[in-house]
Amino acid sequence: MKNFNFHTPTKILFGKNKVVELGPEIKQYGSRVLLVYGGGSVKKIGLYDQVIEQLQRYNLHYVELSGVQPNPRLTSVKEGIRLCREHHLDFILPIGGGSVIDASKAIAAGVNYQGDPWDFMMRKAKVDNPLPIGTILTLAATGSEMNGNAVITNEETQEKRGMGSDLLRPKFSILDPVYTYSVNRYHTAAGTVDMMSHIFENYFAPSDGTFVQDAIAEAILKTCIKYGPIALEEPENYEARANLLWAGSLALNGLTVTGKLMGDWATHGIEHEVSAIYDLTHGAGLAIIHPVWMKYVLSEKTAPKFAQMARNVWNIEDPDDQSAAEKGIDSVRRFFSSLGMPATLSEVNIPDDHFEAMGEKACVFGPIGSFKKLMAKDVVAILKNAL
């Protein structure tokens, strides 16, 4: 196990009706709020009204930025920055899924930065002195509510890229499972795949003696396998929604990568190229790519780790590493399909037209992946295998 510092400063307020604690939490950091939300789900579920009531009760001034789209766009980020500057806002409150939270983080980073906010995504600028943010999450998936990452799409260049800084970790996040009852089957499934994919990215990575981290990762995978299907059949099952919600936060708050040099993250890199051009739901893209990536990188060297997952997560008893690994990967594919997620790019009408460009863009900062290093040609091969 490598040395590490582990610091996850986000305060989690978890459970029914935790929204009543919103006002005092915000007041610790600011009094002029940018309220950010998406296409209206927060109004349908009554969360918007509850938030406004809290803001008014605590005399918090607010300005709204609505209409943030899934795969959030740079234009929303720029508009948010403009509003913050114009109204001298000092706190950002996203209410919604990962897209709303990610847009808010990029806004928070951009307000006190004089250049183009896309610079953060292109590694030309470092986050310094961002506005504080606190979140109310309504969809179990990305882990954005407890990490410092944001993924933004530049619609002009058809690029989707991430940025990250510990300074962007939310000060607090309110996680009320009841708000996730209304998430439809498709996004519930995509969110479950996303969390599992985050676990895979850090699990299939070079590591030595990280038994406890891997055991936590396996437990989170089992949580998704147990409760994902229940949430699909019984959307208002509190136990299922609560377990998925907390699993999503734990899957990507840094916990499972502690003691390792780095995660792999090639699959996410490849998926981001797909959703940048085709605006595909992130989790659906991962459901297609992740099992294909697994098969592509499976070798004598990597088989033992895949076999470990097969045995500990999917209860496969095969003593041979290679065949246990293959069965484990098939189990992942079958599980994603059982959730109703696509298995091929053709199923979601994505042709091979842009594969070469996607390979180049995925590797724009160099080869990707730590479990197995991938060049642009490997990315193209994986995309072809996914057709």
Using CB under 6 A as the binding rule, the residues of this chain from 124 to 163 that contact ligand NZQ are: 138-139, 141-144, 147, 149-151
Nearer to Zn ion, 130 or 269 (CB): 269
Residues 6+ apart with CB under 8 A from 221: 196, 199, 309, 313
Smallest gap from residue 318 Cβ to ligand NZQ (A): 31
Neighbour count for residue 248 (Cβ, 10 Å): 30
Using CB under 6 A as the binding rule, the residues of this chain from 165 to 194 that contact ligand NZQ are: 179-180, 182-183, 187, 191, 194
Nearer to ligand NZQ, 275 or 308 (CB): 275
Residues 6+ apart with CB under 8 A from 143: 98, 195, 198, 248, 249, 250, 251, 252, 253
The reply to whether 269 sits near ligand NZQ by the rule CB under 6 A is: no
- Report d(CA 13, CA 17) in Å as an integer: 10
Element (H, E) at 228: helix 211-233
Q: What is the C-alpha R_g of the chain?
A: 20
225 binds, among Zn ion, ligand NZQ, none (CB under 5 to 8 A by kind): none
Using CB under 6 A as the binding rule, the residues of this chain from 50 to 109 that contact ligand NZQ are: 70-71, 96-100, 102
Smallest gap from residue 286 Cβ to Zn ion (A): 6
Give me the 281-320 binding string for ligand NZQ, x by CB under 6 A, dash otherwise. Answer: -x--------------------------------------
- Report d(CA 328, CA 307) in Å as an integer: 7
Smallest gap from residue 292 Cβ to ligand NZQ (A): 17
Q: Give CA separation, 159 vs 22, 150, 362, in Å.
A: 35, 14, 10
Nearer to Zn ion, 194 or 214 (CB): 194
Nearer to ligand NZQ, 85 or 123 (CB): 123
For 172, phi then psi, to 5°, come to -150, 160
- Report d(CA 157, CA 245) in Å as an integer: 33
- Report d(CA 156, CA 175) in Å as an integer: 34
45 binds, among Zn ion, ligand NZQ, none (CB under 5 to 8 A by kind): ligand NZQ
Place of tokens 């209860």: 315
- Report d(CA 239, CA 79) in Å as an integer: 38
Angle 79-284-377 from CA coordinates, rounded to 5°: 95
Using CB under 6 A as the binding rule, the residues of this chain from 193 to 212 that contact ligand NZQ are: 194
The region of 124-132, 190-198, 253-261, 363-371 touching Zn ion under the rule CB under 5 A is: 190-198
50 binds, among ligand NZQ, Zn ion, none (CB under 5 to 8 A by kind): none
Smallest gap from residue 178 Cβ to ligand NZQ (A): 9
With CB under 5 A as the contact rule, the residue among 102, 194, 214, 218 that binds Zn ion is 194
Strands 159-164, 149-154: pairing kind? antiparallel
Using CB under 6 A as the binding rule, the residues of this chain from 226 to 255 that contact ligand NZQ are: 252
Smallest gap from residue 333 Cβ to ligand NZQ (A): 20
Nearer to ligand NZQ, 97 or 110 (CB): 97
Nearer to ligand NZQ, 265 or 296 (CB): 265
Q: Specify burial of residue 136 (Cβ count, 10 A radius: 0-12, 13-18, 19+).
A: buried
Element (H, E) at 92: strand 91-96
- Report d(CA 124, CA 117) in Å as an integer: 10
191 binds, among ligand NZQ, Zn ion, none (CB under 5 to 8 A by kind): ligand NZQ
Binding site for Zn ion (CB under 5 A): 194
Give contact residues for ligand NZQ (rule: CB under 6 A).
Answer: 38-42, 45, 70-71, 96-100, 102, 138-139, 141-144, 147, 149-151, 179-180, 182-183, 187, 191, 194, 252, 268, 282
